[in-house]
Structure 1
């Protein structure tokens, strides 16, 4: 998808790929993170610190390190890579599917940690009152707990979406830079700088800056509205 901006032709395909990737990753991680974060917030097991450390590892690991090990993990010669190729004829390296898998791993803590904080913020008395009234764990989760932690869910969803859009190192190592397939917006900016096409790099960067600001503004604005409603109630 190409648009003309003044005398410059701008290909918006990398942005479409970025949004597509971010949407798929956010949906997958939301489904996975809710039960996982619920388990972490309620478990008293001795392995909880270990699980939390593993979950947070992508935050502190350099993208090049994580990307390197994911490249090995998802290669056709690995167990995971060979299973995907043999069963689904999908190569996880240098493919959009590989970007989805890698981005899910890299963005996992950005979805899980806010949701875990949300679960831990719910008063135990509220949960106990739900049990006393005859509601089971599943009904309590979806009708009592989740509705009372909307700001945390919103933050997790938006931050995960924005983080996936802006990721560079991991997606470059796993997906490379295949136009129309794995060349997302962040990689396209890098390529323009490499070609000394600073005008295109500036336009792409400005669009990314605008998107990032709007995403963060939406999070803070909605959270502000929710907090005002809560304060008005009490």
Structure 2
């Protein structure tokens, strides 16, 4: 068991690091995007929303394949990596972050957009009558009111990144210490017929998924109680 703990430790830490970095980036990028989707009257905003939601229905291997092309040595990722002397962003932690951000984006943007749309115009109009600038109203009124959506998006984004497999396998492979996350570790154990270790990791991830669902239910119930 000690050997197994030492072996599974790096994938656990790498998975948590990937999920944390991805969630932070998604909140920073997804919140203004969700605000624009909630407030804009542009006729093409739903086309943008559809692009954001595409990973919900697109097979992970399809997204992973195109990311592999874009991040590889012959794509834009190769040119960017060349700035510090590397050949590619594929099969690197940076490549995993890019893929995870794109793949988990709808799980963060949609709850935040729903939260922005839920409180309507009146709080912002009240802030405007108090001479609050649009930026001030966003930070002092919109964000506090949308806090349940932000929490939901953060939890979903983190959990979805922890559990993703197809995209990270396509663009990251199975490099210990660099790209071997928990979902890939399970695949590796099954391939090598190490059923006990596969069961242990899978059971841990199933328990984590249950905890996420329970947390989401409690957050939703608390949000409803606060609005009542």
Q: TM-score range by the shorter chain?
A: over 0.9
TM-score (norm: length of structure 2):
0.94
TM-fit CA distance, 1:224: 2.1
Partner residue in 2 for 1:217:
214
What residue ranges of structure 2 are gaps of 5+ in the alignment? Answer: none
How many residues are paired up?
A: 225
Partner residue in 2 for 1:38:
35
Partner residue in 1 for 2:123:
126
Take 2:83 and 2:130, find their aligned partners in 1: how far apart are those partners? 47
TM-fit CA distance, 1:69: 0.7
Secondary structure of the residue that 1:145 maps to in structure 2? helix
- Comparing 87-96 with 48-57, greater Cα deviation is found at 87-96
What's the C-alpha RMSD, in Å, of the aligned pairs? 1.4
Take 2:79 and 2:132, find their aligned partners in 1: how far apart are those partners? 41
Alignment of 1:9 onto 2:41: no
What residue ranges of structure 1 are gaps of 5+ in the alignment? Answer: none
Take 2:223 and 2:122, find their aligned partners in 1: how far apart are those partners? 22
TM-fit CA distance, 1:222: 3.0
TM-fit CA distance, 1:171: 0.0
Q: What are the within-5 Å matches in structure 2 for residues 99-178 of structure 1?
A: 99-178=96-175
Alignment of 1:92 onto 2:89: yes
TM-fit CA distance, 1:229: 3.7
Residue from 186, 190, 197 that aligns with 2:187: 190
TM-fit CA distance, 1:216: 2.2
Take 1:31 and 1:193, find their aligned partners in 2: how far apart are those partners? 37
TM-fit CA distance, 1:225: 2.8
TM-score (norm: length of structure 1):
0.92
Take 1:213 and 1:16, find their aligned partners in 2: how far apart are those partners? 20
Take 2:193 and 2:21, find their aligned partners in 1: how far apart are those partners? 32
Alignment of 1:63 onto 2:52: no
Take 1:99 and 1:46, find their aligned partners in 2: how far apart are those partners? 33
Q: Deviations over 1:141-161 (max 9, x none)?
A: 111111112211111100000
8 Å Cα contact 2:78/2:89 also seen in 1: no
Take 1:129 and 1:183, find their aligned partners in 2: how far apart are those partners? 51
Take 2:100 and 2:57, find their aligned partners in 1: how far apart are those partners? 15
